């Protein structure tokens, strides 16, 4: 099992006028030996499961059969010609 800190940056200026970044903890993420993962955020009293994003095949567009349309005959029926 591995635990990770979840942090967010907060910019500030120190006494010497230098811009610095403080890393504020906002939660933890735990990776289990069986491959499971959870995330716990400090400001929420809930635990979140983490799953891999699976890419799905994009659906193929439906093909419209236009073989029975005669382009020249239909052109005269367009009212804004």
| Structural domain of 43 | 1-12+21-52
Which DSSP helix (H) or strand (E) runs through 68?
A: none
The residues pairing with 48 across neighbouring beta strands, listed in sequence order, are 39
Instruction: Confirm whether 58 is domain-assigned.
Output: no
Instruction: Confirm whether 65 is domain-assigned.
Output: no
Which DSSP helix (H) or strand (E) runs through 39?
A: strand 37-41
- pLDDT for position 51: 83
- pLDDT for position 28: 95
Does this model's pTM top 0.75? My answer is no
Instruction: Confirm whether 77 is domain-assigned.
Output: no
Instruction: Confirm whether 33 is domain-assigned.
Output: yes
Instruction: Confirm whether 68 is domain-assigned.
Output: no
> Using only C-alpha atoms, what is the Rg of the chain?
29
Asked whether the predicted pLDDT for residue 74 surpasses 60, the reply is: no
Instruction: Confirm whether 79 is domain-assigned.
Output: no
Number of separate domains in the chain? 1
- Taking only the tens place, the pLDDT of each residue in 33-61 is 999 999 999 988 888 888 888 777 666 66
């Amino acid at each position: 099992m591995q635990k990770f800190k979840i942090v967010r940056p907060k910019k500030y200026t120190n006494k010497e006028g230098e811009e610095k970044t403080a890393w504020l903890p906002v939660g933890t993420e735990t990776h289990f030996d069986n491959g499971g993962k959870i995330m716990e955020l400090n400001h929420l009293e809930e635990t979140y499961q983490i799953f891999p994003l699976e890419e799905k095949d994009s659906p193929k567009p439906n093909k419209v059969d236009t073989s029975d349309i005669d382009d020249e005959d239909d052109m005269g029926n367009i009212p804004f010609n």
